[in-house]
Structure 1
């Protein structure tokens, strides 16, 4: 991106992503049940997309991140770091923001784009600052600070302890219901 442009155009979604948007719109117009919609690629939720679509999604999101940094990244807390794919929260957030911007740009009137500027973009920047701050300065990726907490949460010991609490609650609930059915004795 060159600094000589006053307003750079938003990176257009690749044809495959536009096709996914259109398939979802057609399915929704046809009254497809929400369970059926889950079978279609949803570019705003990369985990739902086929590998074929993700090969088009990643470069587009990278272009969108560069565009956002150039067009809206005035403060360091508003800049998307180059290591954004290593931050799952940014992957999810950026995909939603990019899809909202793409669909807003296709609207026949400016209202959707104004809402993107008023709500989606500031909320994205607020969450970016809250979750990352300036945690990844240029060229220095900061690893996940809560990694040890997540590892402990999924450990066999912690999982077994939670299951024991759940089982105890269910046993107490069924005993309580049996007492109620017997007349509160």
Structure 2
């Protein structure tokens, strides 16, 4: 009896990914959990300040991926829940993210100086006034309509007569 149930209880193993260059990873769960833990540790060790967008978003991603992988042993459930490709692709994504963390720390992308502020301010001004059309200008023949999902077409009496005449003519 146990032998009959053992196949049902055993976790499914992926034989191939179907993606060229991505062999099936039999220990995908351990790899993903290890990479998520490494990512959280690397964020702490690289001195990226808490509250910056990069750190917060990556912490949330690492924690969420880790939580999903801890909750199940089924790779299809993980792939469907994360919606980021196959587990092998998720492993590559996490490895790339681990490579990016020290680079972002080196670039110090969260710091801005007066030149950056001036540049952004100048760009915003030139984009806002890119052309000489007054802000209150409404082009002629433009109507602002709201659509309620029902096509309401109005025809002139001449158009109705033309449509009736066309409907009465025999089709060739």
Given the two structures, how large is their TM-score scaled by the length of structure 2? Answer: 0.38
Greater RCO, 1 or 2 (C-alpha within 8 Å, sep 6+) = 2
Given the two structures, how large is their TM-score scaled by the length of structure 1? Answer: 0.36
- Relative to its length, the structure with more helix (as a share) is 1
